[in-house]
């Protein structure tokens, strides 16, 4: 046993608990501390490859001995968080499953266990590494015992490093800590004696014993008095910080030897949702004998495959391409599969001419008897359409099915699902093409490698469909939602993406000059208030100006200093005008960089239009998300944001934009669900619901409500939907928390059923573990039973918000499907180009407006019948901005 690594398991777990937030498994149990502990252990294993090691845990009553000496020892510490105790047990279980020896001795702190092991092992000539960030263990450092801090790039301290850090020798650390005390453990120490004073004393006198023999010779009268008055506390402190080196630990070298992993470790990872650890543990899976993948690279094989596939009614397919952008991607190859374990790959860069392959594919995909499915199949369909193959009859999307069944999951990639459901690790694409600047195109990957990769994708899609169909059958509402809403919506989104939206790049160029002038003006004002120029993009320099030079009171501290994020700046606006200017500067700079400069780069050179991607599986509530670029996020409440929208115009002369926007739809859904009579009355009477709410809250007639009161009522109305508390409302309205509490309390007093409904949502979530929408869309929220208060409260907000926001998503998706059907029946030239949550944007000839506007309004308002009327506002514009005027 040349080396022994002694791990401060309890220290690592506590550190991870506060460093990593909000990780849970399927049961809503916290896993953050466990994950951090495992990650750190894996780092140690990878960096040092130890053959002998031990994980030391605090005993369940680890502080008993010291508390008998000093009842106040660690007494000020809060009780162990409820969601941490179980994770400590899991960490011990992990050690067993991974073959790592561990010790958890009753009534013994981990420090004492570690020190006793180090004393025994170092006496044998073994080099001992105490893996900890706890300074107390520095007292054990010697020529054979070292501190190894894995959290600081494997920083190793020997005797010299300890002396350099603390100014005393390792054997003096006990006395040093006794003098300075330790607030975290409630060790008293000496009043007014800091690290410098302690190291100076020990350099001069050598030890506490010598100091206490001559207290009258130490420093000034004040320090002499402290030593005399607090003599007993000093001796007590030394007893508390001194590590017990006589704990009975195993003295068998084999006990500390790393063992083989247990087969159950992967199941343990899966139960805790540690999929990244599964991938790292099992990157290479042996190829199954049941996998038969065929390269179709000659005319005879292609003809034979096409004849075989023509007999099928449903086929899985997957494309390999040159790019992630579906509108710019070109086909490299295509895979087909109809049963598990067998698949075919046809290359476009092999022996067959691409035109020959395309002819065969066009005949196959145009067959009325065959439907096709895939994983994220919208992308594959777009790429095929680039090659002239359209339309395709789509029957299933395994990514969409997974999303509907497990909306709470963040990932629905094929790689993730294959590992989740089948325990198989799929080869990442980076293994084929590399990363970054050295990455190659899929067209350059050897055929044998790309065949295995592509065919496996089609094969796994077949297997996933079988699994997911069974899950759908057990949930009739979700199944209906899948087949009657999400799948019919998919080709509509495909065509929206394909049509894109036209951008007047010249208009944006002019706007850039205006914004630059505004940015320069704001910068000058900021520098004038700061008294100097500095880098506004540097959080460090900004923090110096705000909190050191201007002496503003910092509301939030982070590891690197004081935070300067948006929330902090908003708080600081009450202290100094510079904060308001910085917020304005950031808004201008974001508009310039994210939209004015970036949007022209997104214009497709072939079409002259921007083609963003709409994701059906991007949000847990069912809302569509938008990316590359995200056109849903262009600000609408700022003048400059509107000017960016002004650059989006119909491409053709004589065409116009039509906006159809649900009015206050989430509040109407709240009225529907809660059945609150006052809220229902407001909507049925066609009242301004915000003014109506203000009249109720401020106890005055509707016509007496002021604009300021309406603004406050509107904030409360929408804040209730998103679970906003008094603190958030007070900041938004810039009123005291007392005033915010009064507004919320009065709101609930006037809308009593709303309050009851919100509590019913939470209770339903606690009982069922999920939240559902009008159409039965589900979102699991197991965290609602978490013992961690922050996690539990976040889950309660989801229980309230999901039925509202998710039902709104259901409603507009149904409307999109019905409108698309009507437009096709009427053979209209106009088309849908954007969906922005509760709004649809159409581009159509002016000649179609009179027919389409009332049709669109009627369809949207009647897509789902609620207990209150749905109201849709129609607006027309020669550009996108005019739709909001």
Paired residues of 3 in beta bridges: 127
Separation between Cα atoms, residue 103 and residue 243, nearest integer Å: 17
CA atoms within 13 A on the CB side of 13: 26
Q: Which of 683, 652, 649, 659 is nearest to 856 (CA)?
A: 659
pLDDT value at position 560? 57
Are 181 and 187 within 8 A, CB to CB? yes
Residue 558: pLDDT band with limits 50, 70, 90: low
pLDDT value at position 288? 53
Q: What kind of architecture, by CATH, is found in domain 665-807?
A: Orthogonal Bundle (1.10)
- pLDDT value at 874 more than 90: yes
Q: Residue 846's Cα: distance from chain center in Å?
A: 44
Residue 230: pLDDT band with limits 50, 70, 90: confident
- pLDDT value at 66 more than 80: no
pLDDT value at position 232? 78
- pLDDT value at 622 more than 60: yes
**Coarse DSSP helix, strand, coil percentages of the chain, rounded to the nearest 5 percent:** 55, 15, 30
pLDDT value at position 722? 78
Residue 148 has phi, psi (to 5 degrees) of -120, 110
- Which has the minimum average pLDDT: 27-41, 57-71, 615-629, 811-825? 57-71
Q: What is the pTM of this model?
A: 0.80
pLDDT value at position 636? 82
Separation between Cα atoms, residue 244 and residue 222, nearest integer Å: 33
Is there a common fold for 168-243 and 283-474?
no
Query: What is the CATH topology of the domain spanning 168-243?
Result: DNA polymerase; domain 1 (1.10.150)
CA distances from 484 to 24, 513, 590, 817 (A): 32, 49, 40, 9
C-beta neighbour count of 642 within 10 angstroms: 18
The CATH number that domain 283-474 falls under is 3.30.420.10
- Per DSSP bridges, beta strands 561-562 and 557-558 are antiparallel
Burial level of 738, CB count in 10 A (0-12/13-18/19+)?
Answer: exposed
pLDDT tens, residue by residue, 754-770 = 999 999 999 999 999 99
- Residue 567's contacts (CB-CB under 8 Å, 6 or more residues apart) are 556, 731
- Which has the minimum average pLDDT: 79-93, 378-392, 817-831? 79-93
Alpha helix positions (H), 144-214 = 159-166, 173-180, 195-205, 208-213
- pLDDT value at 285 more than 70: no
Please state the rounded mean pLDDT for residues 355-363. 96
Query: What is the CATH topology of the domain spanning 1-159+246-276?
Result: Rossmann fold (3.40.50)
Residue with tokens 């297997």: 463
Q: Return the CA Rg of the chain.
A: 33
pLDDT value at position 286? 44
pLDDT tens, residue by residue, 519-538 = 999 999 999 999 999 999 99
- pLDDT value at 567 more than 90: no
Residue 349: pLDDT band with limits 50, 70, 90: very high
Share of the chain above pLDDT 90, in %: 64
Residue 114: pLDDT band with limits 50, 70, 90: very high
Separation between Cα atoms, residue 613 and residue 475, nearest integer Å: 29
The CATH number that domain 504-602 falls under is 1.20.1060.10
Instruction: Give the start-to-end residue ranges of the domains of the chain.
Output: 1-159+246-276, 168-243, 283-474, 504-602, 665-807
Q: Which of 401, 407, 409 is nearest to 487 (CA)?
A: 401
Structure tokens at 549: 């030079």
Average pLDDT, the chain: 90
Separation between Cα atoms, residue 534 and residue 56, nearest integer Å: 49
Residue 559: pLDDT band with limits 50, 70, 90: low
- pLDDT value at 224 more than 50: yes
Structure tokens at 646: 């002004």
Separation between Cα atoms, residue 243 and residue 885, nearest integer Å: 73
pLDDT value at position 77? 64
CA distances from 128 to 7, 135, 315, 367, 507 (A): 11, 16, 61, 71, 69
Residue 318: pLDDT band with limits 50, 70, 90: very high
Please state the rounded mean pLDDT for residues 356-370. 96
3-class SS of residue 103: strand
Residue predicted with more confidence, 818 or 70: 818
C-beta neighbour count of 70 within 10 angstroms: 19
pLDDT tens, residue by residue, 576-615 = 999 999 999 999 999 999 999 999 999 999 999 999 999 9
Q: Residue 10's Cα: distance from chain center in Å?
A: 27
Residue 214: pLDDT band with limits 50, 70, 90: confident
CA atoms within 13 A on the CB side of 707: 0
Paired residues of 397 in beta bridges: 374
Structure tokens at 340: 């598990």
Residue 236: pLDDT band with limits 50, 70, 90: confident
- State the Cα torsion 702-707-713-716 to the nearest 10°: 170
């Amino acid at each position: 046993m040349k080396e022994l690594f002694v791990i401060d398991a309890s220290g690592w777990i506590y550190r991870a608990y506060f460093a990593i937030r909000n990780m849970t498994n399927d049961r809503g149990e916290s896993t953050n501390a466990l994950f951090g502990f495992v990650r750190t252990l894996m780092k140690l294993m990878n960096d040092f490859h130890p053959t002998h090691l031990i994980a030391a845990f605090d005993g369940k009553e680890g502080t008993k001995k010291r508390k008998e000496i000093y009842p106040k020892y660690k007494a000020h510490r809060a009780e162990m968080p409820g969601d941490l105790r179980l994770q400590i047990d899991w960490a011990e279980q992990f050690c067993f499953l991974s073959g790592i020896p561990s010790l958890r001795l009753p009534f013994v702190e981990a420090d004492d266990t570690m020190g006793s092991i180090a004393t025994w092992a170092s006496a044998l000539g073994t080099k001992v590494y105490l893996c900890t960030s706890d300074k107390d263990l520095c007292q054990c450092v010697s020529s054979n015992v070292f501190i190894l801090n894995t959290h600081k790039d494997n920083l190793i301290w020997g005797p010299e490093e300890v002396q350099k850090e603390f100014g005393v020798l390792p054997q003096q650390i006990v006395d040093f800590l006794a003098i300075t005390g330790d607030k975290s453990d409630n060790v008293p120490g000496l009043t007014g004696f800091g690290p410098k004073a302690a190291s100076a004393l020990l350099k001069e006198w050598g030890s506490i014993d010598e100091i206490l023999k001559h207290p009258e010779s130490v420093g000034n009268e004040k320090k002499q008095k402290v030593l005399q008055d607090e003599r007993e506390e000093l001796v007590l402190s030394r007893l508390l910080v001194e590590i017990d080196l006589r704990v009975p630990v195993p003295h068998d070298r084999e006990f500390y030897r790393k063992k083989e992993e247990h087969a159950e470790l992967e199941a343990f990872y899966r139960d805790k949702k540690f999929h990244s650890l599964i991938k790292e543990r099992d990157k290479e899976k042996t190829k199954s004998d049941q996998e038969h993948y065929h390269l179709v690279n000659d005319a005879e094989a292609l003809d034979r495959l096409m004849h075989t596939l023509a007999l099928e009614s449903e086929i899985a397919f997957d494309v390999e391409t040159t790019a992630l952008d579906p509108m710019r991607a070109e086909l490299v190859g295509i895979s087909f599969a109809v049963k598990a374990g067998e698949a075919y790959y046809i290359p476009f860069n092999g022996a067959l001419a691409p035109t020959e392959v395309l002819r065969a594919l066009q005949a196959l995909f145009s067959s009325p008897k065959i439907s096709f499915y895939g994983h994220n199949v919208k992308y594959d369909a777009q790429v095929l359409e680039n090659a002239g193959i359209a339309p395709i009859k789509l029957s299933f999307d395994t990514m969409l099915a997974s999303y509907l069944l497990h909306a709470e999951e963040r990932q629905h990639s094929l790689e993730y699902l294959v590992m989740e459901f089948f325990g198989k690790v799929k080869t990442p694409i980076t293994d084929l093409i590399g990363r970054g600047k050295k990455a190659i195109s899929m067209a350059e990957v050897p055929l044998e490698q790309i065949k295995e990769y592509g065919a496996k994708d089609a094969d796994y899609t077949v297997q996933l469909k079988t699994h997911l169909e069974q899950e759908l059958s057990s949930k009739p509402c979700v199944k209906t939602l899948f087949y009657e809403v999400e799948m019919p919506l998919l080709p509509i989104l495909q065509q929206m993406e394909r049509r894109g939206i036209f951008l007047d790049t010249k208009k944006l160029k002019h706007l850039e000059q205006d914004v630059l002038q505004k940015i320069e003006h704001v910068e000058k004002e900021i520098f004038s208030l700061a008294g100097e120029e500095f880098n506004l993009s540097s959080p460090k320099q900004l923090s110096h100006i705000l909190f050191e030079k201007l002496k503003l009171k910092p509301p939030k501290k982070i590891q690197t200093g004081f935070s300067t994020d948006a929330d902090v700046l908003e708080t600081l606006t009450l202290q100094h005008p510079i904060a308001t200017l910085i917020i304005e500067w950031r808004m201008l700079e974001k508009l310039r960089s994210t939209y004015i400069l970036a949007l022209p780069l997104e214009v497709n050179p072939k079409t002259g239009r921007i083609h963003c991607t709409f994701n059906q599986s991007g949000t847990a509530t069912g809302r569509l998300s938008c990316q590359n670029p995200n056109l849903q996020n262009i600000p609408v409440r700022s003048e400059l944001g509107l000017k960016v929208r002004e650059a989006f115009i119909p491409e053709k002369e004589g065409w116009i934009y039509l906006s159809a926007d649900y009015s206050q739809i989430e509040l109407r859904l709240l009225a529907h669900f809660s059945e609150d009579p006052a809220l229902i009355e407001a909507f049925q009477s066609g009242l301004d619901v915000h003014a109506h709410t203000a009249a109720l809250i401020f106890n005055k007639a509707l016509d007496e409500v002021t604009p300021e009161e309406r603004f406050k009522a509107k904030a409360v109305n929408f804040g209730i939907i998103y679970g906003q508390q008094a603190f958030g409302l007070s900041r938004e309205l810039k009123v005291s928390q007392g005033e915010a509490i009064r507004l919320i309390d009065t709101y609930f007093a006037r809308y009593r059923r709303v309050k009851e409904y919100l509590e019913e949502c939470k209770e339903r979530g606690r009982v069922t573990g999920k939240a559902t929408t009008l159409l039965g869309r589900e979102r699991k929220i197991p965290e609602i039973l978490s013992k961690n208060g922050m996690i539990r409260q976040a889950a309660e907000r989801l229980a309230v918000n999901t039925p509202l926001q998710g039902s709104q998503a259901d409603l507009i998706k149904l409307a999109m499907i019905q409108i698309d059907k009507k437009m096709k029946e009427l053979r209209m030239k106009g088309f849908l180009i954007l969906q922005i949550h509760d709004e649809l944007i159409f581009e159509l000839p002016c000649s179609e407006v009179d027919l389409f506007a009332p049709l669109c309004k009627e369809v949207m308002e009647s897509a789902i019948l609620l207990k209150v009327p749905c109201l849709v506002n129609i607006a027309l514009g020669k550009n996108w901005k005019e739709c909001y005027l």
